[in-house]
Structure 1
Amino acid sequence: MMNYTGLYTPYKLNRSLTEKERNGQFSQGKWRRVKFIMDEYSVVRMNSTYMETVCKYYLGVGISSSLIASLILGILIVFTYEGLYISVISDEYVSWGGVCFSAVIGIVFIMLLSILLRKEWFRKTHYPIRFNRRNQMVYVYQVNGQILTVPWSKVFFTSAMSRGAMSEWGIDGHILSDDGETVINTFSLAVSVMGSKKLLGEYWEFIRCYMEEDCVEDLADIVTLCPPVENRKEGYIFGLQYLLKMDSRLEWIFLPIMLPLELLASMGRYIAMQTSKIPQWPQEVLDACLVDPDDPINVSAANNPEHLWRYVLANEKREEYESRYIRQSAANERIKAKLAERYGK
């Protein structure tokens, strides 16, 4: 399951903040003491001016559309078989009224499924978010195609749980009206987790530190895997790798079960990417995000691990793993030291 609120189901707007949202707020300007700071493989580009991330839907692209497409294909196969059986094989009496009724139900069902299918196919490859550190603005490419531009300090960030049997936690950013109470727009950060909400704080600190703290170089050392979707479409191989991403070799136990499902999802994902358009920022956003030619920070998919299959399957050579672990751990410690010096232990 994935948190598809905002894509398949709309955000609840023109309402007051709930008590749960107030209690779950992620506050700007406040250090949230976490053990690790994590980027969750969401960074598309990072430099000293802005950081662009994917949306929370990007991780699960292909999962729902592959299942929906399979249902549509199954219905078509059943109807094709029934048509051949009635017209060629069967000598029994056929109730054409019943056949027509079944056909109408099937067509309506396919039309409804096709509407859901178009939530991923023939849309945008992803819906990026840009955090401009220099002018302290956030730019959100919304599902409806409009660009939301809002000051970082004016967004009310809070934990949010998706609806459904297998709920997931994420971080929503609410835009409030002048009364400071009414939610008039909402977007989500690129994190969606099941179970413990601890990971939300780790990802929030990554975003907050980029916008507020003097540790961009250290944050750059934490980033390992960047989706290659900047001004281009994701290829099939990377899509499969992104779906298969493992954190430990222990996950190999589930590979015989997960691989067929991920292969199916990867086909839906590839179709989604190929039928969708690449999101384009308007010129005013590009002008606001101009990067210094000599900027020492330049993180993108060009910096991805050389042996990507080994990385996503948690099967890197020991020296590669240890080198990255030491780099990321040292960066985390430097960030925590800076935060402790600024906010006090």
Structure 2
Amino acid sequence: MNSVWLETVCKYYAGKGIPSSLVGLVCAFVIYFAIASIFLTVSDVFNGDYSNWKGRFFLILLLLISIYFLSKFILKEWFRKTHYPIRFNRKNQMIYVYQVNGQVLSAPWAEVFFTRATPGGAIPEWGIDGHILAQDGETVVNTFSLAVSIAGSSKLLSEYWEFIRCYMEEDCVEDLAELVALCPPVENRRESFTFGLQYLIKMRSRLEWIFLPVMLPLDLLAGVARWVAMQTSAIPQWPQAVQDACVTEPDDPVNVSAANNPRHLWRYVLANEAREEYEARYARQTAANNRIRVKLAERYGKKSA
């Protein structure tokens, strides 16, 4: 984040590695049974026993088909892009979206219709979708999701949205910079295994330590799958036209990146920072948030703030 542009990761970056780890575990068992079935079938044939070959043939065929489809699911995370960034250009009021197909979607900020994503599934996950409309103002021609997905209550969506909106529309960029506590180290590089694991483990309070014995093995498994996904995936590169539109000044007063992450990152992700560090960050963020509220109140009235 700087005075010209703000870049976020994609909606699915936070959980990257979890789907492929679970599917990969199932796939490993299926592969084991497929190899065992092939070995037993070949062994029986060499011993002159042809009584079970038809049943085992269909079983092996079914297992191989299962492996094929499971592998295709895993490859939705592996051998892709490390992430699919979204860049908001404050200067020219444009949004650039790196899409899964490798194309870059460009749209004026004022012409994108944003709405809450419809929740679905057993545990609803709320998000924010941006819709590109046709000239009739009603037909949706393209849609992209912002990098937020919240299970259960949708209350936190408004906070995320207001951060993005304020960056693009209000004069409070330096204060917004004070609110950012953690940036993924993925700009022009792949995240490390350690950071990927930290990102998966990240806790909001020490109360979550209760679930650590259960969650840590799952996080480690997902961390391995996440690392494989990162190592086998290419780093997204913006086209030259986007880079030319996002040139920043060398002395830009706003410069937020992974270099500003908490010094003791493990303590931060485990909600176990030293009291002094926590209070300093909390005070800084509270002061910045209050300044933003004052600016919004002056512009829109106290009721809006």
TM-score scaled by length of structure 2: 0.95
Residue of structure 2 equivalent to 1:55? 10
Report what 2:22 is aligned to: 67
Query: Deviation at 1:165?
Result: 2.5
**Cα RMSD for the two superposed structures:** 1.5
Matched-pair contact (CA < 8 Å) for 2:34–2:64: no
Query: 1:258 aligned to 2:224?
Result: no
The separation in 1 between residues aligned to 2:205 and 2:288, in whole angstroms, is 21
Q: How many residues align?
A: 300
Paired AA for residue 13 in structure 2: Y
Whole-Å Cα distance in 1 between the matches of residues 34 and 247 of structure 2?
A: 56
CA distances 1:8-50 after superposition (whole Å, capped 9, x unpaired) = xxxxxxxxxxxxxxxxxxxxxxxxxxxxxxxxxxxxxx00000
Distance 1:70 1:59, change over 3 A: same
Deviation at 1:110, TM superposition (A): 1.0
Q: CA deviation at 1:233?
A: 0.4
Task: Write the distance in 1 (CA, Å) between the matches of 2:43 and 2:263.
Answer: 57
The 8 Å contact of residues 228 and 301 in structure 1, kept in 2 or not, is answered as: yes
Match of 1:199 in 2: 156
The answer to which structure has the higher helix fraction is 2
TM-score (norm 1): 0.84
Letter in structure 2 aligned against 1:210:
Y
Contact 2:86/2:98, CA 8 A, preserved across alignment: yes
- SS class of match (2:190): coil
Unaligned residue ranges in structure 1 (runs of 5+): 1-45
CA deviation digits over 1:235-273, x for unaligned, max 9? 100000000000100110010111111111101100000
Match of 1:343 among 291, 297, 300: 300
**Which deviates more from structure 2 when the two are superposed, residues 123-132 or residues 72-81?**
72-81
- How far apart are 1:95 and its partner, in Å? 1.4
Instruction: Tell me whether 1:111 sits opposite 2:68 in the alignment.
Output: yes
Partner of 2:190: 233
Q: Percent identity?
A: 66
SS of 1:131 mapped into structure 2? strand
Contact (CA 8 Å) 1:86, 1:94: kept in 2 or not? no
Is 1:160 the counterpart of 2:89 in the alignment?
no
Match of 1:322 in 2: 279
Whose radius of gyration is greater, 1 or 2? Answer: 2
Task: Give yes or no for the alignment of 1:289 onto 2:246.
Answer: yes
Residue of structure 1 in register with 2:129 after alignment: 172
2:14 partner SS:
helix
Letter in 1 for 2:10: C
For 1:159 and 1:71, locate their aligned partners in 2 and report how far apart those are by CA, in whole Å.
Answer: 34
- Post-superposition Cα deviations, 1:111-134, rounded to whole Å, max 9, x if no partner, equal 111111111100000000000000
2:229 counterpart residue number = 272
Are residues 1:97 and 2:41 paired?
A: no
